[in-house]
A and B are shown apart, each in its own frame.
Chain A
């Protein structure tokens, strides 16, 4: 199965991204994971998601490279190495135990339940007029969800501008006086 191979490639790239010393190489390896995810969406029959993931991944890489460029500092190795590693592996193991119990109740791979989506598929075309069902769900059936997404997006943009700004407004006024 090609999806298994692609997932193995993504896991390999993720291990490289986590373990490599150089920060810029780490960011590039994370880009490999994201672009592999875009291909995986294409294999899993989700073309809209593949396009969006491609664009978002490239923007994400640009932002992260802006953060890391010219700031390549050596990683620190000292500190409580044994305690940190043990605690981390304990938490990951705990997560995997819970995931093992949850995995048994999931639907079998390749056989979705589709209790809600049945109505969308049956009446999507006549109610919304869109042949693409993902577009009809995003822009018509669940349009409040999209409105919330736009709100979060613009709030985050305002947050970025407020954090990144060099001089606060009060200080700027004082300098002018």
Chain B
């Protein structure tokens, strides 16, 4: 159970970074940390004690294999995370070119 709690701690650090920091790059880093924590959480749920990787072998039985389904879905999620990060960074670079700052309180046009 301590693994789940440590993983939640990692998520909380990312959440704190996203909510508290005012620099756009720091916010992107916080989003990345949150993404890592969620991926790790799904794989932690799939883990079996003394299990082996989900690759079939004639010499060994399939009883102690870890869960392959969350691994396949997290594989998708990792690649989508890269695409999302690239898009956010592109928008951040454009914001820097237009306003010459990364500080979100200085970007006047976005104020409601």
Contacts and interface: CB of A to CB of B under 8 A. Distances in A.
Interface of A: 1, 3-4, 7-8, 10-11, 14-15, 17-18, 23, 26-27, 30, 33-34, 37, 40-41, 44-49, 52-53, 56, 59-60, 63-64, 66-68, 71, 73, 75-76, 79, 84-85, 87-89, 91-92, 95-96, 99, 103, 106-112, 114, 116-117, 120-122, 124-125, 131-134, 137-138, 142, 145-146, 148-149, 152-153, 155-157, 159-160, 163-164
B61 to A, nearest CB: 11
Contact of A153 (B39, B47, B80, B105): B80
Nearest to A81: B20
Listed residue (B1, B20, B71) with the most chain A CB atoms within 10 angstroms of its CB: B71
B79 A30 contact: no
Contacts of B45: 106-107, 112
Contacts, number: 240
B44 to A, nearest CB: 7
Given A4-B2, A49-B75, A63-B86, A73 B16 contact: no
A34 B16 CA distance: 18
Given A34-B36, A121-B65, A163-B87, A46 B8 contact: no
Interface string B1-29: 11111111111111111011111011011
Given A121-B62, A152-B80, 11 more contacts: A11-B6, A11-B13, A30-B29, A40-B43, A75-B22, A96-B12, A116-B69, A117-B69, A145-B73, A159-B90, A163-B87
B9 A49 contact: no
Contacts of B86: 63, 156-157, 160
A18 B37 CA distance: 15
Interface residues of B, number: 79
A26 B29 contact: yes
Interface of B: 1-17, 19-23, 25-26, 28-30, 32-33, 36, 39-40, 43-49, 51-57, 62, 65-69, 71-76, 78-87, 89-94, 96, 101-103, 105
A56 B74 CA distance: 13
A135 B71 CA distance: 10
Listed residue (A68, A122, A146, A155) with the most chain B CB atoms within 10 angstroms of its CB: A68
A40 to B, nearest CB: 6
Contact of A18 (B2, B29, B54, B56): B29
A23 B23 CA distance: 9
Contact of A160 (B15, B26, B43, B87): B87
The 3 closest A-B pairs by CB, nearest first: A110-B49, A156-B83, A137-B72
